[in-house]
Structure 1
Amino acid sequence: MHLAQELVAYIDRLATLPDVYLKIRAALDDPDVSIPEVADVITTDPSLTAALLRLANSAFYGYARKVESINRAVSLIGLEQVHDLVLATSVTALFAGIRPQRMDMARFWRDSLRRGLLAREVARLVRGMSPERLFVAGLLADAGHLVMYVAVPDLMAMVLDTPLQDNDTLPDVERRIIGCDFAEVGAALAARWQLPVSFGVLIGAQLQPPSAGEYAASAALLNLVSAAAAKAGGGPEHEYPVHPESLSLAGIDAETIEAALEPVEAQLDMMMSVFGTGQ
């Protein structure tokens, strides 16, 4: 049996966040940092610069005029949101070369982006939620599975081949066979990378939103959109079980989530291209 931290320690030898992200996070920790200073750090990495400009000029934001500089992009998007988007682009680039056995990476990225976009779309309708932060939490919500497929492929194969018992869910089987579920591993990864606390809490509590404390409403939203996005992508319902308190905690209804799926699907191919995950 394995602890989530053990699995993350294994993949940590394969994947660490790039220096440019760490420099941007350090800069944003300074309350007096300026937009030009943050832009200067971003432009030291050409691939990150190109990715952020693609994002700023995409339908994700829909600005009327073309954004031609990182300085302008940071000014329009905002410092906290830039942090979250830099994290998103860094993680997608980081995992781009990983090809675990029995994991369809094209489906993984499509499902992850659908979930992130749906979380953002719904969060925009709920007062007090951060759409960009929910987008990134949705994008990273299944990162625990990626770690598990790389670190313990034989055990994950056993999970996939195990017939479900009454009322079983995929996380139940993972806990029985591996000793932890994908949400626990995802939270451990967020802690290992020293991401803002909210990411670890949201990812770790996505199956049990009431345990997220002050982040319970956002964790409930993540729980709901994960199930809806998986269903929209043709995935089995037992992968991302809906918690019975999620609708009331998030303050939304199932119809709102269903209605948000249409614009998300319309954006999905474009966002796969923007993040370089369409291959």
Structure 2
Amino acid sequence: MANGERFGMHRKVWGVPEALMLLPNAVVRSMVAGAPVGTAARSVPGMHLQQFWRYSLETARLCRSLAGIVHLDAVAAYTAGLLHAVGELVIHRAEAARIDSINAQAGPFDVRRADVEHNLFGFTYAQVSAGLAKRWQLPQVLVEALCYQTNPLNNDAYEPLAAVLHLAGWRARAGEAQFNDRELAMTYPGEVGMTLGLDIDMVLQQDPINWKPSLDEECL
């Protein structure tokens, strides 16, 4: 919608911050959640939306910060981080009848979540998020980054932004789980980090750029 002709745009909208300037945030929330405008957090079974957006914002900040090290577009990175898990909301609504049993295996922010979803469905929140980005006519680099974020080395045309998003997601999920040093070392995606020239210390020491959330972000 944000890239639609009815908004008079003659170029692609790169990110959510730009899109939110064009769309009422209630519309964005409705598109993302797939629910009628004004529905409460309980309308997404098994997901607390306030926690979801807090986690997503943390991932976005981490993604932007890491992108700066490897000289990738900051706005694209922030947007990828913010939208990387919106597919999870769709899955939670579509699988409402068994979402509790799925969450019992690996919660929404568990580092194992993508593996559990792939085993159960044959796809993950990553592909659903990419499908939404494509539907919203976001740039192809964002669609590919979202699609391959859980396995960035599995894409024939390697997309560095997918690798950055993978590392940012890992760190944000590790933070949610309050991993200790041993757990961090055991789960760090070293092969992905190597493609970017980033080791675990560089990723852990890189502070997310602590932007104060805008009113639009707080309302999502």
TM score, norm. by length of structure 1: 0.61
Q: CA deviation at 1:209?
A: 0.8
Tell me, yes or no, if the aligned pair for 1:106 and 1:278 is still in contact at 8 Å.
Answer: no
Whose Rg is larger? 1
Contact 2:188 2:200 in 1 (8 A): no
Q: In the superposition, relative to structure 1, how do residues 276 and 210 fare at CA in structure 2: closer, same or farther (>3 Å)?
A: closer
Match of 1:111 in 2: 55
Deviations 1:43-101 (A, max 9, x none): xxxxxxxxxxxxxxxxxxxxxxxxxxxxxxxxxxxxx65x5522366596422645312
Query: 1:9-30 CA distances to partner (integer Å, 9 max, x unpaired)?
Result: xxxxxxxx4xx5424584116x
Percent identity, please.
Answer: 24
Aligned with 1:101 (options 38, 45, 49): 45
User: 1:117-173 CA deviation, whole Å, 9 max, x = no partner?
Assistant: 11111211223x101100000101011101111222123222112379xxx922222
Would the aligned equivalents of 1:209 and 1:243 in 2 still touch at CA under 8 Å?
no
Match in the other structure for 1:256: 202
Is 1:27 matched with 2:10? yes
SS at match of 2:123: coil
SS at match of 2:206: helix
Q: Offset of 1:104 from its aligned partner?
A: 0.9
Q: 1:163 to 1:233 in 2, by over 3 A?
A: closer
Q: 1:254 to 1:235 in 2, by over 3 A?
A: same
| 1-structure distance, mates of 2:188, 2:118 | 17
- Higher mean displacement: 107-116 or 244-253: 244-253
**For the Cα contact (< 8 Å) 2:80–2:142, is it kept in 1?**
yes
- Give 2:64's aligned amino acid: R
1:92 and 1:180 mapped to 2: Cα distance? 29
Is the Cα contact below 8 Å between 2:3 and 2:11 reproduced in 1?
no
Partner of 2:126: 183
**Greater relative contact order (CA < 8 Å, ≥ 6 in sequence):** 2
Q: Residues 235-261 of structure 1, C-alpha deviation per residue, up to 9 Å, x if partnerless?
A: 788xxx754421111222322222223
Residue 67 (structure 2) aligns with: 123
Q: Does 1:145 align with 2:88?
A: yes
Alpha-carbon RMSD across the aligned residues, in angstroms, is: 3.2
Unpaired stretches in structure 2, ≥5 consecutive residues: 31-37
Structure 1 alignment gaps of length 5 or more: 1-16, 30-79
User: C-alpha distance in 1, partners of 2:8/2:149?
Assistant: 25
SS in 2 for 1:28: coil
Distance 1:232 1:161 in 2: 19
> Does the aligned pair in 2 maintain the 1:218–1:250 contact within 8 Å?
no
Q: Contact (CA 8 Å) 1:227, 1:242: kept in 2 or not?
A: yes
User: Per-residue deviation at 1:275?
Assistant: 2.8
Amino acid at match of 1:118: L
1:245 equivalent in alignment to 2:188:
no
| Alpha-carbon distance in 1 for matches of 2:94, 2:159 | 30
* Structure 2 counterpart of 1:192: 135
Closer, same or farther in 2 for the Cα pair 1:189/1:225, shift >3 Å?
Answer: same
Distance 1:145 1:192, change over 3 A: same
**TM-score normalised by length of structure 2:** 0.75
* Structure 1 residues 29-178: aligned runs within 5 Å: 85-87=17-19, 90=23, 93=26, 94-95=28-29, 97=38, 99=41, 100-127=44-71, 129-162=72-105, 169-178=112-121
1:251-277 per-position Cα deviation (integer Å, ceiling 9, x unaligned): 22322222223x54x44xx21x43342
